[in-house]
């Protein structure tokens, strides 16, 4: 549970509905509502939330309320909702500085960001944000395959991600990139794995975080799956895809399988842990066909319809 959630509800604190699993213990500060893009076929997160920038006075009030309840225990803050970098840079700097002055033990501030927004943001702005306290950006890559990015209406190209990654590196910002296992379905898993490994290897982010596609009601890809125009990747295909991805990554990243949708917990620092990570996948592949309990566990993952 995010820090202070129960105590802050009484204060009328505007909690965001979503945050990365790695921010489970962070104070959640809502700077925007909804998503500036909101067109990705696999996503149902912000479908019914019109995008808006929250008034700065409301944000100041939330920070003051949080400082009253959990000033000393707050060490990390996650800024939500999606893509708050669209807010005027000077306004974000004011928010960052207020956070740092309000929480004496704060050592990390993170937020979601779209690659397109990040690629267009002036480098000087990103450097100012870093100096003001922004530490890490969470960016959904999903796939490095240009055709799949178009199909899922991501609104960004592999080149956009490469440019965004370079800007983040130059500004001194940590980058956490998300990969969506299974987004190529049963038909394009190899192409997805190879292209994604290529883009990730060129960016070499600090973190690679994988999720497994479990189509959600309300998303276009869910409707396509039900209509038969999208063939969801089988359990074994997802494992093979992940193996191929890891085999082809040339990075110094932390690879994390930190989400409930994933079939197998595969974690490690690359390249050092590559063989151990591959062994985990190979052991699972060897057991899958003859292990009904493993098959049932994977099928339960397929039933997740509220993320």
Each residue of 179-210: pLDDT tens digit? 999 999 999 999 999 999 999 999 999 999 99
Phi/psi-derived region of residue 155, left when phi > 0, alpha when psi is between -120 and 50, beta in every other case: left
User: Alpha-carbon distance 281 to 258, whole Å?
Assistant: 16
For the whole model, what pTM was predicted? 0.94
Q: Domains of the chain (ranges plus CATH)?
A: 1-112 (no CATH), 138-307 (3.30.750.200)
Contact in structure between 78 and 110 (CB atoms under 8 Å): yes
- The pLDDT of residue 295 is above 80: yes
Lowest mean pLDDT among 3-17, 70-84, 160-174, 232-246: 3-17
- The pLDDT of residue 1 is above 70: no
Q: How far is CA 303 from each of CA 41, 230, 260, 289, 298, rounded to the nearest angstrom? A: 19, 17, 11, 20, 9
Per-residue pLDDT band for 101 (boundaries 50, 70, 90) equals very high
Provide the pLDDT for residue 63. Answer: 97
Q: Which residues pair with 254 in a beta bridge?
A: 207, 269
Q: How far is CA 117 from each of CA 82, 121, 161, 210, 218, rounded to the nearest angstrom? A: 11, 6, 10, 22, 25
User: Alpha-carbon distance 144 to 101, whole Å?
Assistant: 39
User: Alpha-carbon distance 78 to 111, whole Å?
Assistant: 6
Q: How do residues 128-181 score in pLDDT, each as one tens digit? A: 999 999 999 999 999 999 999 999 999 999 999 999 999 999 999 999 999 999
DSSP 247: H
Two structure tokens written together for 229: 């125009």
The mean predicted confidence, pLDDT, of the chain is 95
Residue with tokens 């994390």: 256
- The pLDDT of residue 305 is above 90: no
> Cα 92–95–96 angle (5° rounding)?
85
- The pLDDT of residue 5 is above 60: yes
Q: How do residues 40-53 score in pLDDT, each as one tens digit? A: 999 999 988 999 99
Residue with tokens 């509220």: 306
Backbone angles phi, psi at 172, to 5 degrees: 80, 20
Residue with tokens 């982010």: 205
Helix axes 292-302, 274-288, angle to 10 degrees: 110
Phi/psi-derived region of residue 36, left when phi > 0, alpha when psi is between -120 and 50, beta in every other case: alpha
Two structure tokens written together for 113: 């960001």
Closest CA to 46 of 137, 122, 132, 140: 140
User: Alpha-carbon distance 235 to 216, whole Å?
Assistant: 17
Closest CA to 42 of 279, 194, 217, 262: 217
């Amino acid at each position: 549970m995010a820090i202070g959630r129960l105590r802050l509800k009484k204060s009328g604190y505007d909690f965001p509905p979503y945050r990365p699993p790695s921010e489970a213990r962070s104070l959640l500060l809502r700077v925007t509502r909804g998503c500036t893009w909101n067109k990705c076929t696999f996503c149902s997160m912000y479908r019914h939330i019109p995008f808006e920038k929250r008034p700065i006075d409301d944000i100041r009030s939330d920070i003051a309320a949080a400082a009253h309840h959990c000033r000393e225990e707050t060490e990390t803050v996650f800024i939500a909702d999606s893509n708050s970098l669209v807010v005027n840079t000077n306004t974000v700097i004011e928010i960052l500085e207020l956070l740092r002055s309000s929480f004496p033990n704060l050592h990390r501030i993170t937020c979601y960001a779209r690659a397109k927004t990040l690629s267009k943001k002036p480098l000087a702005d990103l450097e100012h944000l870093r100096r003001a306290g922004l530490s890490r950006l969470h960016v959904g890559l999903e796939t490095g395959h240009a055709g799949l990015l178009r199909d899922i209406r991501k609104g960004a190209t592999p080149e956009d991600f490469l440019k965004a990654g370079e800007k983040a590196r130059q500004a001194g910002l940590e980058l956490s990139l998300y990969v969506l296992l299974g987004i190529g379905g049963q038909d394009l898993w190899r192409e997805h794995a190879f292209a994604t490994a290529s883009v990730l290897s060129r960016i070499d982010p600090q973190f690679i975080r994988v999720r497994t596609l479990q189509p959600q009601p309300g998303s276009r890809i869910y409707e396509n799956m039900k209509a038969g125009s999208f063939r969801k990747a089988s359990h074994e295909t997802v494992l093979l895809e992940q193996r191929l991805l890891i085999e082809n990554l040339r990075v110094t990243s932390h690879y994390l399988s930190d989400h409930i949708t994933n079939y197998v917990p595969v974690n490690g620092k690359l390249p050092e842990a590559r063989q151990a990570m591959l062994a985990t996948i190979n052991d699972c592949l060897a057991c899958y066909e003859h292990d009904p309990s493993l098959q049932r566990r994977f099928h339960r993952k397929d039933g997740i319809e509220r993320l």
